[in-house]
Structure 1
Amino acid sequence: MLETLLLALGVMLILEGLMPMVSPLRWRRLFEQLLQLEDGQIRFFGLFMVVSGLLLFWLVS
């Protein structure tokens, strides 16, 4: 179980690191746009990501 969790964390870190590694200027612009979002928009995006992850987890397990 712990091994699977660590593998999933590793994959997430690889995917998260691709954009700043490949295109740092585009990543910086995207981050600047994210800073301009309202708190409610960021919370909705976070909720969407959590629900999507739970749904994917439920479908796979």
Structure 2
Amino acid sequence: MNDLLAGLGIALVVEGFLWAAAPQMARRAVEEIATFSTGRIQSCALAAVAVGVFVVWLARG
């Protein structure tokens, strides 16, 4: 449970830093994603999940 909370905290730090450091770029990215088809969004999300699982697997050994 502690690892889950730490991971969520890190995700919030990274997400918050993106919006704080480059709000216009983040806004453009959201606008661009809004034009994607549902299938493309789902594909990108599944790829992100797979990469995340792989990174956790590497980190946890």
Structure 2: give runs of 5+ residues left out of the alignment.
none
Alignment of 1:1-61 (within 5 A): 2-61=1-60
| Matches of 1:24 and 1:30, distance apart in 2 | 10
Tell me, in whole angstroms, the C-alpha distance in 2 between the residues paired with 1:39 and 1:20.
24
- Once the two structures are superposed, residues 11-49 of structure 1 have per-residue CA deviations (whole angstroms, 9 ceiling, x without a partner) of 110001111111211211111001001111101101101
Runs of 4+ more than 4 Å apart: none
Report % sequence identity: 30
TM-score normalised by the chain length of structure 2: 0.84
